[in-house]
Structure 1
Amino acid sequence: MVLSKDGLFEILEGNRRLTMRVVEAFPKEELFHYTPADKLRPFAEMIKEIMNIESAYIRGIALHEWEFQDSFAAISTKEALISACEAVRENTRRLWQEVTDETLEVVEKDPFFGPAQSHFARIQYGLENEIHHRGQGFIYLRILGMEPPEFFVRD
C-alpha cells in the first residue's frame, strides 16, 4: 500500500472540512431547494448521499455490518444537516480505530454497488463521490452569485 491508513484519513478529513465550508456557504433556503436545472438535486440531497455512503461503508469495513440505509431523508434544516454531518464524521473517527492497513487491502464483492473491490477502493469511491458533489456545490454557489470557499484550504 502506497498510502497508510493515517495518511488516507488525513485526506478524508481535509476534504470533509472543505465540503462543510461549502455547506456553510449556502443560504438556508437554497441549500435544500435550489437546482440550476430540473434534473439536478439540491446540494443538501447530495450531502445526505455522501453521509449515507460514508456511514454504510465505515460500518461495513470496521464492523463487517453491511447495511445501506437512507438515514437522513427527513433532515430539512441547515442546522440539522450540519449536526448530522458532524455526527457521521464523529462515528467514522471512532470506527476508524477498528480499521488496519491490512483491512484496507481486503477485497470483497461490494454489497451495495456490485463488483469486488478493496476496502481502500470503497473509501476512495466515497471520497471521489464527495469531491464530485462538492464541485457541484461550487457551481451552484457561483450561479447564485456567491463565492465558494477557497479550494486549496483543507484545514
Structure 2
Amino acid sequence: MNATAQAPQIITKENLLRHWQGHRGLTRRVIEAFPEKEFFEFSIGGMRTFAQLTSELLAIASPALKGIVERDEKPYIENADNGTTKADYLRKWDEATEEINKYWSLLDVADFSEKFNLFGQYEFPIIDNIFYFIDNEIHHRGQGYVYLRALNIEPPFFWER
C-alpha cells in the first residue's frame, strides 16, 4: 500500500447519527420505564438520581453539538430547569433530539477531524467529542438499568435501538 492511499470510510455521517439517535431512543425508553417518584428520588449508594443523570445528558448532547457547529466554546452549564415531571423531561429529550438532527445537518464530514475545545475545556477532534456524547450516555443509561433492576422493573433490551 502506498503512503498516500487512504483507508476506506467505515461509517457514514448518516449512519453515525442513526447510531447515536438509536442510543437516544433507548435512553428515552429507560426514562419512560421509571415510575414518576423513583425517577426523581431513587438512587443507590449516594449516586445521582436518573433525573439528575438525564439533566446532564440534556446539558451535553444538543448544546455541545450546537457549540461544535457554531464553533462556540461556551462553558458547560447543567440546566436544572428541565421541569418537575417525567413528562417534562421526555418533552425536553424530544426537543433535544430534533435540535441534534438540525445541527447534525450543518456539520460537514471534513469537520470531524478538526480539533474543537468543547465547553472551553476539552480540546479533541470533533469525532472524539461525538464519541464522548454517545459513550457518556451509554454509561449513564447503564446506571439507569441498575436502578430499574433494583426496583424490580425489567429495563428495555439494550440491543433494541
The two structures share one fold, judged by TM-score above 0.5: yes
Partner in structure 1 of residue 146 of structure 2? 139
Aligned-partner residue type, residue 83 of structure 1:
R
Name stretches of at least 5 consecutive residues in structure 2 with no aligned partner: 1-8
What's the offset of the Cα at 1:108? 3.0
What's the offset of the Cα at 1:75? 2.2
Over residues 92-122 of structure 1, what are the superposed CA-to-partner deviations in whole Å (9 max), with x where a residue is unaligned? 11111100111111113344433x3111100
Percent identity between matched residues is 30
Normalising by structure 2, we get a TM-score of 0.88
Cα RMSD over matched residues? 1.5
Matching residue within 29, 41, 53 for 1:33? 41
* Paired residues of 1:61 and 1:103 also in contact (CA < 8 A): no
Q: Where do residues 59-74 of structure 1 align in structure 2 (5 Å cutoff)?
A: 59-67=66-74, 68-74=76-82
Number of residue equivalences = 152
Q: Does 1:57 align with 2:64?
A: yes
Name stretches of at least 5 consecutive residues in structure 1 with no aligned partner: none
Which structure has the bigger radius of gyration?
A: 2
Matching residue within 86, 91, 115 for 2:99? 91
**Residues in 2 aligned to 1:108 and 1:90: alpha-carbon distance in whole angstroms:** 23
Q: Where do residues 1-155 of structure 1 align in structure 2 (5 Å cutoff)?
A: 2-38=10-46, 40-67=47-74, 68-114=76-122, 116-154=123-161
**Residues in 1 aligned to 2:32 and 2:38: alpha-carbon distance in whole angstroms:** 11
* Paired residues of 1:56 and 1:66 also in contact (CA < 8 A): no
Normalising by structure 1, we get a TM-score of 0.91
Aligned-partner residue type, residue 141 of structure 1:
L
